[in-house]
Amino acid sequence: MYNVMIVDDSEDQRLLLRNKLGSTGLFRIVSEAGDGEGAIDYLGGVDCFSNRQMFPVPDVVLLDLRMPRVDGFEVLTWLRLRQFKGMKVIVLSTSELEEDIAKAKNHGADAYVVKGPMNEVAAEILEILMGLAKRPGLRR
């Protein structure tokens, strides 16, 4: 089973992703954050998150780009400086701009999904996760 963190400012989108991925039995949602600041606190083990038994480092982060306070690009930069071994990051965004896609990948994103109908997005993410799970390097 792979541990997943969902970082998105839309509670509805987090709920749909949680339900879709959780129903597979392959992925366990270990954390959710509504902005990049919350994601960094969790991933950095700040305060209560320092107990990694209760708050494990995820294998995969689903990361929205456009969020308040700290956006997805800032989280990607923060992650790149820390180099979490084996962690994969899938960016979620409404932007189809090539420069955003290139920037996300240059900042360390393993995949980029353009948001649309959430059932389709969840299916695409599931397909990417299944592909990542087959590659060496993803922690289990």
Range(s) of the domain holding residue 10: 2-134
Residue 90 lies in a domain: yes
pTM over 0.95: no
DSSP H or E stretch at residue 72 = helix 72-82
Could you give the number of structural domains in the chain?
Answer: 1
pLDDT tens digits for range 70-121:
999 999 999 999 878 889 999 999 999 999 999 999 999 999 999 988 778 8
Residue 122 lies in a domain: yes
96 within domain boundaries: yes
Contact criterion met (CB below 8 Å) for 29 and 55? no
